[in-house]
A and B are shown apart, each in its own frame.
Chain A
Amino acid sequence: MSLLVVGISDLKTSGDPSDVLITYSLGSCIGATAYDPVARVGGMIHYMLPLSQISPDKAAMRPAMFADTGVPALLSELLAMGAAKNRLIIKAVGGAQLMDHHKLFNIGERNFLILRKILWKNNMLIKASDVGGLISRTLRLELDTGRVTVKTSQGENEL
């Protein structure tokens, strides 16, 4: 088995059933997985911010930093590997926030909302999610089964 670590502002895909994709320290960022159980290909993204318009030069350097450039990049990479849009199972976690009563900087919520919008435009839905709260999360995708787990300080669960 090889453990492929997806860093912050990073995305990775694989068609090797022995691979496991993992990303750590998801705060307000979103970690999303997409898996096609027939083609047995899958991928993961860890993006930080919703929209690339605030910094197009950074988006050109690191498309996976933003939802609006990273998520389409992940999907097209998977389609090129033989995945079919209607078979892709999407799961997402993260979108946490600090203790902030007025949600002045609700990056987490906006990060999750933009994902749903992008997928909706592509006629896709999120199958399962675990978002919000004051906790950080670790997300894991097993390529042989498509099993997705999320780990927090409270324990580990299948999504």
Chain B
Amino acid sequence: MSVKDDLIASISSLPTVPIMANRLVLLLNDPDARPDDVSRVIQYDPALTANVLKAANSSYLGFTQPVTSLTEATVRLGTNWVFQIAVSSLIYSNLKRPAPGYGMSAEETWRHSMAVGIMAEALRDQLRLTGVATIFTAALLHDIGKIPLGEFVRDSFPALQELVTTGDASFEEAEQAILGVDHAEIGAMIAEHWRFPEAIADCIRWHHDPEKAPVITPALDLVHAADAMCIMEGLGLGRDDLHYRLCEASFERLHLSQEATERAVSRTIIELENIKETFANAPAVGAGR
């Protein structure tokens, strides 16, 4: 059996991601949905509600009056913000896992995922693009394929490293050459297994090489740009180091200036530290459902 077949078999036995994450994504993508629909869905999960309120009351946001309800959180912080905290909480237990061959601890994997989510949101804000549900969720999940692929990367690491250091291959190209599959491909399969919309799986599939995507969307370019900036700035680096390509065309299509990009970087590092409070010792919301 090839590495790919092995992984496909293991994906089908993965636990499903909480159904509520998909519901929230669909809801936010629905143009007819009302702002309070998101909190109406969340309110049925007490642990999730508690986590959103904890985040809303973190010292960083600096409200003098505590936020006591989801409706209040939505009014003060916006539907997008509530959505992002809720989806991060729901996916937390699936993402906070080590990726052994990449030399990444569970902590580092989670940190990189959150960093790219926050960076994508910071860039999206600068560009005033819509589509937060797809962009944020795809950014959060973009490297999920590294978790199952990690053990194969570990076994073949010397060969992978030789290819990236002596040749002109990027790390995921080396994965494809040596293992017959790369972490972006596996990540997209996981997103499909979890029944996330196709647009999210497509962003994950092509996040290192947007030019190869059958359809290039702003969401894909954003996820690529956010990941590239986080790798560059050392927000969750593994043994694959900086051996990835930066797709200049993505930055050009988004009209992302150096200044706008750097401003997003500065916002990300501050928000990343503050979000740590929310997820420090967080219970696994929705695990096993």
Contact = CB atoms under 8 A, between A and B. Distances in A.
Interface residues on B, range: 20 to 34
B246 A99 contact: yes
Given A54-B259, A96-B242, A134-B241, A27 B232 contact: yes
B246 A28 contact: no
A136 interface: yes
A108 interface: yes
Contacts, number: 96
A153 B158 CA distance: 12
Interface in B210-254: 228-229, 231-237, 239, 241-246, 248, 251
B270 A99 contact: no
A62 B270 contact: yes
A148 interface: no
A97 interface: yes
Nearest to B169: A99
Given A58-B270, A61-B270, A48 B265 contact: yes
Contact of A97 (B164, B242, B270): B242
Interface residues on A, range: 20 to 34
Nearest to B170: A99
A104 B254 CA distance: 14
Contacts of A100: 245-246, 248
Contacts of B258: 105
A123 interface: no
A58 B241 CA distance: 27
A45 interface: no
B177 to A, nearest CB: 16
B269 interface: yes
A55 interface: yes
Contacts of B262: 49, 54-55, 107
B270 A136 contact: no
B277 to A, nearest CB: 15
B4 to A, nearest CB: 25
B246 A108 contact: no
Contacts of B269: 8-9, 48, 62, 65
Contacts of A49: 262, 265-266
Contacts of A54: 259, 262-263, 266
B251 A105 contact: yes
A54 B35 CA distance: 33
A129 interface: no
A53 to B, nearest CB: 9
B241 A102 contact: no
A28 B239 contact: no
B237 A27 contact: yes
A26 interface: yes
Contacts of B74: none
Nearest to B256: A105
B267 interface: yes
Contacts of B259: 54
A104 B228 CA distance: 12
Contacts of B80: none
A6 B258 CA distance: 26
B99 to A, nearest CB: 15
B5 to A, nearest CB: 30
B16 interface: no
B266 A55 contact: yes
Name the 3 nearest CB pairs between A and B, nearest first.
Answer: A25-B234, A27-B234, A100-B246
Interface of B: 161, 164, 168, 170, 228-229, 231-237, 239, 241-246, 248, 251, 258-259, 261-263, 265-267, 269-270
27 contacts: A8-B233, A8-B234, A8-B269, A24-B234, A25-B235, A27-B234, A27-B242, A28-B234, A29-B234, A48-B266, A48-B269, A49-B262, A49-B265, A49-B266, A54-B262, A55-B267, A62-B269, A62-B270, A65-B269, A96-B241, A98-B231, A98-B245, A105-B251, A107-B233, A133-B242, A134-B164, A134-B243
